[in-house]
Amino acid sequence: MKPARFSYHLPATVDEAVALLAKLAPDDGRIIAGGQSLVPTMAFRMAQPPHLIDINGIAELNRIDVEGDIVRIGAGVRHAAFEAAGAVPGVTGVWLGQVVRHIAHYPIRTRGTFCGSVANADPASEWCCVVAALDGRVVAESASGTRRIAAADYFEGVMATSRRDDELVTAVELPLLPDGTRCGFAEFSRRPGDFAIAMAMTAYRLVDDLIVEARIAIGGAEPFPRRIAEAEAALNGQPPTAAVFAEVAAIAAAAVDPMEDSNNTADYRRSLVRAMTLRALEAAA
Amino acid sequence: MSKPAERWIGASVPRLEDLPLVTGRGRFAGDVDFPHQLHMRIVRSSLAHGRLISVDTAAARAMDGVVAVWTAADIADLPPIEFREGPIEKLAPYRQLVLAAERVRYVGDPVAAVFAEDPYIAEDAAECVVVEIEELEPVLDAAATPVEYRPGLDTESTICRQGYGDVDAIFADAATVVEIDVSIGRHSGVPLETRGAIGRYDAARDVLELHGAAKVPHRNRESLARMLGRSTAGVHLYEGHVGGGFGIRGEIYPEDVLVLVAAMRLGRPVKWLEDRREHMIAANQSRQQRHRIRAAVDGEGRVLAIDDDFFHDQGAYLRTHGSRVVDTTCGILPGPYRLPHYRVNGHVRMTNKTPCATYRSPGRFESNFARERLMDAVAERLGLSRVEVRRRNLIAPREMPFERPLVALGDDVVYDSGRYEALLDKALAHIGWDALERDVVSRRAAGEYFGLGLAIYVEKSGLGPTDGARVNIHTSGEIEVITGGASVGQGFETVIAQVCAEVLGSDYRQVRVIHGRTDRIEYGIGAHATRATVMTANAAAVAANKVRAKALDMAAQLLQADAADLDIADGRVVRKGEGEGASIGLGELAHHLRPTSPTRGDRDPGLTAEGWFNTSHMTYPYGVQIAVAAIDKDTGAVRIEKLLIAYDIGRAINPMLVEGQLVGGFAQGLGGSLLEEFRYDERGQPLSVTFADYLLPTAHDVPNVDVMLTEDAPSGVNPLGIKGAGEGGIAAAGAVIASAIDDALGSAGTITRLPITPQYLKATIDAARAAVRV
Ligand SMILES: Cc1cc2nc3c(=O)[nH]c(=O)nc-3n(C[C@H](O)[C@H](O)[C@H](O)COP(=O)(O)OP(=O)(O)OC[C@H]3O[C@@H](n4cnc5c(N)ncnc54)[C@H](O)[C@@H]3O)c2cc1C
> pLDDT band for position B496 (50/70/90)?
very high
Check CB contact under 8 Å for B697 and A272: no
Give the pLDDT of residue B579. 67
8 Å CB contact between B187 and B121: no
Q: How far apart are CA B249 and CA B302, in angstroms?
A: 41
For residue B760, the number of C-alpha atoms closer than 13 Å in the C-beta half-sphere is 16
pLDDT tens digits for B686-703? 999 999 999 999 999 999
**pLDDT > 50? residue B20:** yes
Q: How far apart are CA B593 and CA B573, in angstroms?
A: 15
Beta pairing class for A7-9 and A51-54: parallel
Cα–Cα separations (whole angstroms), residue A97 to A84, A105, B722: 7, 14, 53
pLDDT tens digits for B270-302? 999 999 999 999 999 999 999 999 999 999 999
Q: How far apart are CA A48 and CA A184, in angstroms?
A: 39
**Pocket flag, ligand 1, residue A154 (CB < 6 Å):** no
Confirm whether pTM is higher than 0.95: yes
Give the pLDDT of residue B773. 76
Name the A residues in 34-53 with CB < 8 Å from any B CB: 40, 43-45
**Pocket flag, ligand 1, residue A116 (CB < 6 Å):** yes
Could you tell me how far CA B516 lies from the centroid of its own chain?
17
Give A104-108's long-range contacts (Cβ < 8 A, gap of 24+): A104/A36, A104/A79, A104/A193, A105/A193, A106/A80, A108/A34, A108/A36, A108/A79
Q: What is the DSSP string of B441-472?
A: HHHHHTT-EEEEEEEEEE--B---SEEEEEEE
What residue segments make up the domains of chain B, in order of their start? 5-26+463-614, 32-137+194-242+249-282, 138-188+285-394, 415-461+619-774
The stretch B36-40 carries a mean pLDDT of: 98
**pLDDT > 80? residue B416:** yes
Give the pLDDT of residue B68. 98
pLDDT tens digits for B439-451? 999 999 999 999 9
The stretch B158-183 carries a mean pLDDT of: 98
Closest to A191 (Cβ–Cβ): which among B277, B636, B695?
A: B695
Q: Whose CA is nearest to atom 53 of ligand 1?
A: A36
> pLDDT band for position B7 (50/70/90)?
confident
- Domains of chain A, each with CATH number or no CATH: 63-175 (3.30.465.10), 182-284 (3.30.390.50)
- Among A117, A127, A159, A165, say which to mutate for ligand 1: greatest number of ligand atoms within 8 Å of CB: A117
Question: Which residue ranges in chain A fall short of pLDDT 50?
Answer: none
What is the Å distance from ligand 1's center to A77 Cα? 12
Q: Which residues of A touch B759 (CB under 8 A)?
A: 263-265, 268
> pLDDT band for position B772 (50/70/90)?
confident
**Could you count the other beta carbons within 10 Å of the beta carbon of residue B98?**
23
- For domain B5-26+463-614, the CATH architecture is 2-Layer Sandwich (3.30)
Name the B residues in 674-733 with CB < 8 Å from any A CB: 675, 679, 681, 687, 690, 692-693, 695, 697-698, 700-701
The stretch B321-348 carries a mean pLDDT of: 97
Nearest-Å Rg of the Cα atoms of chain B is 28
The 3-class secondary structure across B140-183, one letter per residue, is: CCCCCCCCEEECCEECEEEEEEEEECCHHHHHHHCCEEEEEEEE
8 Å CB contact between B595 and B702: no
**Pocket flag, ligand 1, residue A103 (CB < 6 Å):** yes
H or E stretch covering A142: strand A137-142
Check CB contact under 8 Å for B763 and A191: no
The stretch B480-500 carries a mean pLDDT of: 94
Q: How far apart are CA A25 and CA A143, in angstroms?
A: 12
Tell me if chain B has a CB within 8 Å of the CB of A245. Answer: no
Q: How far apart are CA B201 and CA B222, in angstroms?
A: 17
Mutate to test the interface with B, among A102, A191, A264, A269 (most CBs of B within 10 A): A191
Q: What is the atom index within ligand 1 of the atom nearest the CA of A40?
A: 53
Q: How far apart are CA B325 and CA B727, in angstroms?
A: 14
Mutate to test the interface with A, among B759, B761, B765 (most CBs of A within 10 A): B759
Which amino acid makes up residue B738? A
Q: What is the dihedral of CA B13, B16, B21, B27, to 10 degrees?
A: -160
Domain B138-188+285-394 has CATH 3.30.365.10: yes
The stretch B630-659 carries a mean pLDDT of: 97
Q: Could you check whether B5-26+463-614 and B32-137+194-242+249-282 share the same CATH topology?
A: no
**Pocket flag, ligand 1, residue A130 (CB < 6 Å):** no
Give the pLDDT of residue B2. 41
**Pocket flag, ligand 1, residue A31 (CB < 6 Å):** yes
Cα–Cα separations (whole angstroms), residue A114 to A63, A71, A78, B492: 11, 13, 6, 47
The stretch B717-736 carries a mean pLDDT of: 95
pLDDT tens digits for B541-553? 999 999 999 999 9
pLDDT tens digits for B386-401? 999 999 999 999 999 9
Could you tell me how far CA B323 lies from the centroid of its own chain?
15
Arithmetic mean of pLDDT over chain B = 96
**Could you count the other beta carbons within 10 Å of the beta carbon of residue B90?**
12
Q: How far apart are CA B222 and CA B518, in angstroms?
A: 10
Residues near B426 by beta carbon (within 8 Å), at least 6 away in sequence: B646, B708, B710
Give the pLDDT of residue B5. 45
Q: How far apart are CA B146 and CA B433, in angstroms?
A: 46
Q: How far apart are CA B181 and CA B370, in angstroms?
A: 8
The stretch B338-363 carries a mean pLDDT of: 98
Q: What is the ipTM of this complex?
A: 0.95
Helix ranges, B333-469 (H): 364-382, 386-391, 420-431, 433-445
> pLDDT band for position B6 (50/70/90)?
low
What is the Å distance from ligand 1's center to A36 Cα? 5
Q: What is the DSSP letter of B428?
A: H
Nearest-Å Rg of the Cα atoms of chain A is 19
Which amino acid makes up residue A275? A
- The string over B44-79, giving b where at least 16 C-beta atoms fall within 10 Å of a residue's C-beta and e elsewhere, is bbebbbbebeebebeebeeeeebbbbbbbebbeebe
- The string over A97-136, giving b where at least 16 C-beta atoms fall within 10 Å of a residue's C-beta and e elsewhere, is bebbbbbbeeebbebbbbbbbbbbbbbbbbbbbbbbbbeb
Give the pLDDT of residue B747. 86
**Pocket flag, ligand 1, residue A181 (CB < 6 Å):** no
Q: What is the DSSP letter of B490?
A: S
Give the pLDDT of residue B1. 37
**Pocket flag, ligand 1, residue A53 (CB < 6 Å):** no
8 Å CB contact between B108 and B282: yes
Q: How far apart are CA B106 and CA B119, in angstroms?
A: 24
CATH topology of domain B415-461+619-774: Aldehyde Oxidoreductase; domain 4 (3.30.365)
Which of A216, A226, A281 is CA-nearest to residue A257? A226
Arithmetic mean of pLDDT over chain A = 97
Q: How far apart are CA B464 and CA A263, in angstroms?
A: 44
**Pocket flag, ligand 1, residue A75 (CB < 6 Å):** yes
> pLDDT band for position B4 (50/70/90)?
very low
> pLDDT band for position B774 (50/70/90)?
low
Q: Which residues of B touch A45 (CB under 8 A)?
A: 123, 127
CATH code of the domain occupying B32-137+194-242+249-282: 3.90.1170.50
Q: Whose CA is nearest to atom 2 of ligand 1?
A: A104
Check CB contact under 8 Å for A271 and B634: yes
The stretch B575-597 carries a mean pLDDT of: 91
Tell me if chain B has a CB within 8 Å of the CB of A185. Answer: no
Q: Whose CA is nearest to atom 1 of ligand 1?
A: A104
Residues near B386 by beta carbon (within 8 Å), at least 6 away in sequence: B375, B376, B379, B454, B739
Which of A136, A133, A167, A173 is CA-nearest to residue A154? A136
Q: How far apart are CA B740 and CA B735, in angstroms?
A: 9
The stretch B342-351 carries a mean pLDDT of: 98
Between B580 and A24, the more confident residue is: A24
